[in-house]
Structure 1
Amino acid sequence: MFLTFANDPDNHLALLKRERKNIMRSLREHDDSRHIKVVTESGTTIEDIFEIFHAYENQVAIFHYGGHAGGSHLRLEDDGSGTADAQIVGLAKFLGQQESLKLAFLNGCATGPQVSTLLENGVKAVIATSSKIQDQMATEFAEQFYFALSNFASIQKSFDTATAFISAKYSSHPPIDIHRGLSTWGEAEDPEEGLPWGLFVAKGAEDSLQWTLPQASQIEKTIRGRMAYEQRMEVNDLLIDTVCEELALYSKDLDYELNKENLVIASIIREIVDSFPLPIGEQLRKLFTRSNNPSEPDEMELFTETRLRQIYQTHRATAQFIAFILLSQLWDAKYENPELQIDEDHVVVFNSFFAISEENFGRFDYFALTKVITDIFDAHHISYFLEELKEIKVNPDSNSELSNAIQFLEAANKDLLNNKINSDDLENICLQAEEALGHVLRTVAFMAKYKLATIKNIEIIKRRHEEANYRHSHIELNRAITIAGTKITEIGEVFKNFTDNKSVLFLKTHENNIISYLSLSPFIIDLNALDNEHSSKLYLFSYQKKADYYYQFLNNYKDDLLVINDSAYKRIKDEFEKFKANIHGNAYAPQKAQTPARGSRFSRKR
């Protein structure tokens, strides 16, 4: 991949350096693993472009240009630290000769007229603009495109992801003064009225849009280098063995079961599952599913792809839950300290979270988001609500037990998605994935000591000449097997202070005082609390599509998603919009409710 950037000292693009750094940050892991070679040139000259293409003849898959452009040229730099215009006709002929080239990405203003020239000369696909574009918008579009590409999305899906992000963010944001443009190209379109980018493909070259970064199967490498297990293992044995001792430190009931002379496996399973907060425990529970008919075992009782998917889903639910906890606390930290800013090194990961779509939801890396937030907490000396999260460090370059487990599970999922799992290896892969999940769950075993609950309602208890107390009607969310049943008891506890209402939150209490709490809204919501219904029905944020927010039902991911918008649960949508504005450092301006017109003379004259 060849990334070129050229600035103009007389018309400086302030964010071009950020664009280069964050694109490279997304691709560095792949470059380090030698799956790809990334060459970057700052202050690019026309000689640089020809030199690199000759040095890597028929090897360059993507050519990226970031900088000023006009309808017939790209503005490059020259050896005298000035600028020079590269005429597109000559460059197009040269690029068209590169048989390996899948995409030319021209992230400059008004490059639309160059598209036909490039395609006519043999370039397979082009991303270009039809009008002036804002400097920040151009930078963020490129960041999101390459972040998606680094997660093995195709060129087409990466473009769709970047487009979705820009559509969502800039629908209500004012333009920024700096533009990537040197001259008027036709009538400049207003970016507010339509996205200026287009993805163009030559006839017969449609397959180029499905190109992805190359990836080797890490699963196969792991299996070849691993000795066979000493004895045949039953499903879940490795999982229980890996997690039980650490979890028993926080669960007296599990510790009691493990101390029995004759182990009762069903009781041990129950205590393990019930020790975790519901968003994790509910997915873990599914791994222990048993058929009522011994002659027809459930797929979870066998080493099947269905079981492997559920192992990964439990891992993903854990990563998502940790990310939601940290996002919630980051929002509180921003509220308490408005001066806290998200720097350029971290903003691309947050933007990718806001750009999650239906297409890329299953590939989003929640542990990458977790790493960024913990880096922010550490840099600003922010205390963790769950103190143990400070110790969870996910570094792909390290050889830690946790990092290796995460890499194995992510590799297994990629092989599942790409149908690369060999049936002969399935049992071994399932066993290794089970053990890897055990390492992940062992790392978060401390969550067993914290109380997760839905606050359904808060009642003020106040008599004359007495201090007010507050009865919190709530449901504890630490019992997955119980929650899956039909009978759930609401508990009423009286405290001297109060929390948020109709919310899912962590509680720290002492006697009849709430020491502190952390609301997980709007990332996790309890629909029954919002609807004043009995029991509990948890939904987790999945992705945004235009003005709608989509939430997944915790107990069954195959159910239709819950849609939240201005017509349904608007307060939750408003919370999310406020969160996004705060993270971006923008003031939040809620939409004013429309007052219906009235017909009386009184209301009209008032």
Structure 2
Amino acid sequence: MSNQSNIQGNQNIVLQGVTDSTITVEVNGAPRELERQLEPLLALLEELKTQQLQLEGRLYNIDSITANSFDFLVEQLRNGQELPAELAENLITEDNIWVNSLAQEFIRQGVSVGNKPQRIFEHYGWLIEVFLLKMNSPAGRGPTLRRLSFMAEAYQSSLRYLCFIQLAQLLPQIKEGLQPSIAAFLKSEEGAHVEYDYLNLLLLATEQLQGRENFMPEIEELVEDLADPETELYQTAIFLARQRDALLQGKIKEDAQLGALLDQYLTGLVYWLRRIAFLAKYRLVSIKDINLNYRLGTAKHFIHRYGELHGVYAEIQSEGEDYSSYSVQDTFTYNQSVLLLKDRSVEACLKNLQNEANYLSISPLLIDQSVLAEKAKQTPEIFYYTGQARKGSKYFYALYKNELALNGERKNSNKQLTVQQTNITQPKLDELFDQLQQLFKPAKGASQ
């Protein structure tokens, strides 16, 4: 993998320690001290004829480290084991408090919220909402590793979502060339998404968007704080990431110490979720299809059938009303795509489709599998992009609500989707394959 992988052997450079002026690296078991700058590290890599280094159990391609992200990465060596002091002194220990805390943040930002947890969680959209619901379920309330896994995935999924928003703005310019690590992300190996460092990818994608009008400017402000190791946000984000890594590696046990860690993780997660509450100002929808209504003497009306990716569909599922319809005169948008709308009102945004700055296509990073499968009475079924086989012969997706498989267990409820040139049982995936081939093939900078 070009971004990270499980480490085997000691043939790579291992970042071991950091001070204000130096970094300590281990080269085949022997420590070496370098000036704390990117250039000496690059020179060492060139001397050893290697492109990779290990940090906190992950293998990074040197292309994934820029001058701006260097400090962000090396500072992780002295962060991540504990919450920032102020948060640690104000732990959330009761289930109802964390839900109310999220509600209060939305109210502070002028967003209307209901009094039920699901009406609060829905403002984040399905990708995050689903794990908040799991946290608030009977299975997610006990002092168990499963509860921790739900919280860890709420964090990971939120990072992935923010990354996809940034990457979606870069894909139309893919022929102009992408930062190498971003291009390499598109060519990630199957299964790499479980441990992928989306935090670093978020910084790199936001860096490449500098100088352009960002669809979601709030992310720029967030990343500015994330990139500063002195901020509470940075320290919290690293803590959440490191504890998730420890969970995946089986280092956290279901013992008497777990309760304290659960309180710490919940406190950090709520702080993070409050910082990304700006997501409530946007709406994620799946455009199922667009039909033209046009007759002699009439204007052109494009009927957009869409499903909102916020809230629980169980209330209407029995009636089969899984998609809504809205007529737009003379204008249409991307068909069979997942769109992010710059408005809390879907109708208000669809009414102004002529202004392309009001919406962003997140597809094909996010897809609605139910649209491609055309199953009757099916609600949207969202899958996210995870990588591809060598030379783009296959592309891989995972269901948005897949859970972490801990200690080698098999999660039968988890779903994966493989898109290849010929998809016998789902022929509409052939069209998605063609789109991916056309869109991703020109990516420059990624290793083949």
- The C-alpha deviation readout for 1:427-456, integer Å capped at 9, x for no partner, is 121111112111221122122122211111
Q: Is 1:526 matched with 2:406?
A: no
Alignment pair present for 1:439 and 2:299 = no
Q: Which has the higher contact order (CA 8 A, sep 6+)?
A: 2
1:389 maps to 2:219: yes
Q: 1:494 to 1:55 in 2, by over 3 A?
A: closer
Which residue of structure 1 lines up, in the alignment, with residue 143 of structure 2? 303
CA–CA distance in 1 between the matches of 2:219 and 2:88?
A: 33
> Could you list the per-position Cα deviations for residues 390-423 of structure 1 after superposition, in whole angstroms to 9, with x for gaps in the alignment?
2121535423232122111112112223333363
Stretch of structure 1 that moved more, 314-323 or 545-554? 545-554
1:321-470 mapped onto 2 (5 Å cutoff): 321-332=161-172, 334=173, 340-342=176-178, 346-347=179-180, 349-358=181-190, 360-378=192-210, 381-393=211-223, 395=226, 397-421=228-252, 423-470=255-302
Q: Percent identity?
A: 21
Note the alpha carbon deviations across 1:581-604, whole angstroms, 9 max, x for none.
344179xxxxxxxxxxxxxxxxxx
Structure 2 residue aligned with 1:543: 387
Q: Which residue, 105, 130, 152 being the options, matches 1:246?
A: 105
Q: What corresponds to 1:506 in structure 2?
A: 340
- Give the superposition deviation at 1:425: 2.6
Distance 1:510 1:417 in 2: 41
- Quote the Cα distance in structure 2 between the aligned partners of 1:536 and 1:575: 20
- TM-score, with structure 2 as normaliser: 0.74
Specify whether residues 282 and 225 from structure 1 end up closer, same or farther in structure 2 by C-alpha distance, changes over 3 A only: closer
1:524–1:538: 8 Å Cα contact kept in structure 2? yes
Q: Deviations over 1:262-297 (max 9, x none)?
A: xxxxx331221111111111122111113xxxxxxx
Taking the aligned partners of 1:321 and 1:55, their CA distance within structure 2 comes to: 38
Q: What secondary structure, in the 3-state scheme, does the structure 1 residue paired with 2:256 have?
A: helix
1:382 alignment partner AA? R
Which position in structure 1 is the counterpart of 2:432? 572
Q: Residues 528, 418 of structure 1: CA spacing in aligned structure 2 closer, same or farther, 3 A cutoff?
A: closer
- Confirm or deny that 1:312 pairs with 2:152: yes
Contact 1:457 1:473 in 2 (8 A): yes
Residue 553 (str. 1) matches residue 395 (str. 2): no
Summarize the Cα distance change of 1:354–1:35 in structure 2 as closer, same or farther, 3 Å threshold: farther
Contact 2:124 2:277 (8 Å CA) reproduced: yes
Q: Give the conservation status (yes or no) of the 8 Å contact 1:283–1:313.
A: yes
Q: Report the TM-score when normalising by structure 1.
A: 0.56
Counterpart pick for 1:494 among 309, 324, 327: 327
**2:327 match: secondary structure:** strand
Aligned with residue 55 of structure 2, among 146, 150, 163: 150
Map Cα deviations across residues 339-370 of structure 1 (whole Å, 9 max, x no partner): x544xxx42x2244134334543221112111
C-alpha separation in 1, matches of 2:237 and 2:132: 16
Q: Give yes or no for the alignment of 1:479 onto 2:339.
A: no
Task: Summarize the Cα distance change of 1:499–1:400 in structure 2 as closer, same or farther, 3 Å threshold.
Answer: same
Corresponding letter in the other structure for 2:269: L
Unaligned 5+ residue runs, structure 2?
1-12, 34-42, 62-73, 343-347, 404-410, 424-428
Question: Could you tell me how far 1:571 is from its partner in structure 2?
Answer: 2.7
1:175: which partner in 2?
A: none
Distance 1:388 1:395, change over 3 A: closer
SS of equivalent residue, structure 2 residue 397? strand
1:602 matched to which residue of 2? none
Would you say the 8 A contact 2:18–2:77 is kept in 1?
A: no
Q: How many angstroms apart in 2 are the aligned matches of 1:387 and 1:512? A: 23
8 Å Cα contact 2:192-2:387 kept in structure 1: no
Matched residue pairs, number? Answer: 381
In structure 2, the CA distance between the partners of 1:389 and 1:271, relative to structure 1 (3 Å rule), is same
The aligned residue for residue 122 of structure 2 is: 274
User: Contact 2:24 / 2:32 at 8 angstroms: preserved in 1?
Assistant: no
Q: Is the 8 A contact 1:540 1:554 kept in 2?
A: yes
- In the TM superposition, 1:135-174 aligns within 5 A as 142-143=50-51, 145-146=52-53, 149-150=54-55, 152-153=57-58
User: Could you say what secondary structure the match of 2:116 adopts?
Assistant: helix
- Superposition deviation, residue 506 in structure 1: 1.5
- Say whether the 8 Å CA contact 2:143–2:262 is kept in structure 1: yes
How far the C-alpha of 1:520 sits from its partner, in A, is 1.2
Q: CA–CA distance in 1 between the matches of 2:163 and 2:278? A: 16
